[in-house]
Structure 1
Amino acid sequence: MKPPFQFSAAKNYFLGFATSGAILLSGLFYFDHDKNEENQTNPTEQIEFTNVEKTELQEFDPNDLDENGWKKLGFSDKQVATILKYKNIVGGEFTSKAQLKKCYSISEEKFDELEPYILLPDKAENSYESTNYKSFYNSNQGNYEKKELKIPGKFNPDTFSSADFVKMGFTEKQANSILKYKQYLGGSFISKEKFKDCFIISEENYRKMEPFLLLPEKTPENFTAKTNFRNPSSEKEKFSYQKFDPNITDLEGWRKLGFSEKQAQVIINYRDRNLKGSFKNLDDIARCFVISEEKFNEMKPFIVMNPQNFKINSSTSTSYSKTENAPEAKTDFSKMDLNQITFKQLIEFGFDEKSAGMLLNYRKKLGGFVTKQQIVETYDIDKELAQKLVSTARLDHSNVPKYTLVSAPEEWLKSHPYFKYSADKIIYYRISYPSDEKIWKFLKTKPEYEARMRLYLR
């Protein structure tokens, strides 16, 4: 009886081992499958652009865009929420392109696409970005020079001015930002909860102030924050609309419809430049960035589209008439080098002053044109007139500065439109890898960006 018992025990041991192995393999397979499923259902924010309907780009001030305006630029709901939150963090208003670029929801490629259309200076005129921006993020971590708060006993922050917050221990910029946050809430901090939410006020400082705050503990359930920092009134301004033709409405007319001067100018520029002088239908108006969906629906019943006021490529025909009907023109443009053409000669050819200035400014930033297509693609110029110019004139790019990635001056890399977004990486990599071929491998730029950059490389 002994041998059968040993055989049975061995058999049971083997079956138990095999079963355990099968369970382990199944678990690993399930984990790997679950992980792949998770990766497939959690795409990065940058991929979200592919599912968002975008519209034709035009000049815009990011401070004038609401949620719908950012969506029209091609951002997802999640990205728009992040951008608007970032705007609140920096004080309720973007002051420069450099500051906007720091928003992590805007990829380098997306910013590169939008940058020519952004109506902001490249850098802030003062040190607001470098000091105030850091204070928002670093104040919560204690990475700046701390100032001890001097709390004047019980107080209601709703009654405090900027000077009062400065006396308490905040910097002037922080004090102004706190008041902007109050303005955002509608003119009152509402509750201790809302006061605590102010990005400027660190957790440590709030704990010190909390016992002295004369505010309700909780926020009312029906409270909704305002979305426009620059409109402190608690009630929306009402407008008595009348019938109007958007194709003959001037700057003052758009302002009377409730737009700011800057917004009105953007609408006129959009009509006169992007649409060649006139809105052809209601969709043209709705696509303008500074006209929110709500505002468009308010105006829609009063819009009159009179075909007699439509203009057909008026700017182009005007430009052509200047060149074709101007007997005083003396320049032989067939002999003119596009890298030497002057402002007066561009005006003589038919460009308006702004277009001529844009073209020459772009040429200066590039260090000279290398292809004629660069001229046609210059931002905000008459494409047909530009095409006529490049078909007539010649292009000599023999004197355009060109370098290797290893030898290119740092200043040149950081200022050149094609290299500036990769400049820091190039400078970093070439320290350890003094070879253009290896630097390209580390850069991993998109093929179209690399092709543009190679135009200016030896």
Structure 2
Amino acid sequence: MNNIKSHFRYNKSQRNGVFFLLLIIVLLLITFFFFDFSSNTATDFSQNEIESFKKEQDSLLKIKLENSKPKIYPFNPNYITDFKGYQLGMSTEEIDRLLSFRKTGKFVNSIEEFKNVTKIRDSILNKISPYFKFPDWVTTKNNKPNNNFKQPIKQQIEEKDLNLVTAEDLIKIRGIGEKTATRILNYREKLQGFTYSDQLYEVYYLDKEVADKALEYYKILSKPTIKKININTALFKEVLAIVYVDYELTKKIFNYRDEVAEIQSLEELKKIDGFPLEKFDRISLYLVAE
């Protein structure tokens, strides 16, 4: 019993300490129950931040959706393909009507004529017609309905050597503008001249129908003089400069040359693993084994 009492015996300073501790606890409890520490201002500010974030997120999403939409660039509607028509939103029937009309050798030269031929829906026509780009002579004719302009006819285009034609000659072909004519001439220079007529189809962004039309008038009447490279002494960059040879094929050719020491005949190139046999005739135009 005495041991228990000893635990509850405090001196004066200890009793004062306990008293002040209890006083502090009571004051804190009273403060907690009678004062509101919540802040509406903080909540409102946080809500404003959330609203601002949502608006910014919606704005970024709208921009992303806008950028993801397929862009339409100016084009000649006469050369719409099945795939192009599908991308533009045309129906199969509308595309087929245009292709059937084009097979007759005719061209549409206005938005109204395009509508009559395809019977396209107004909603789609209004969407794509601002991007229609007709040749300059068509635009001039439509802007001046009373002039006496006549569409170029076949007899007005003089037949020439494809290796001698100029940009002025090429733009006489319907579908070939200044930029396309320049690409054709640049490619001809890179080839050192056209050896085969079908090399014209290799010009990028040149439609097959336009190339067909050009070959009706411009044919290969004289073979070009091509400077051949000795495959046994050629530099890597010289072989790589050949139009039909890429970097990987050049490496394979030089690895093979190192293995055999000397290439006796160009036919040996066909033995190289992965050599494009369908391009052998083209590649051999620029090489010789000596």
Report the structure number with the largest CA radius of gyration. 2
TM-score, normalisation: structure 2: 0.48
> Which gives a bigger RCO, structure 1 or 2 (Cα 8 Å, sep 6+)?
2
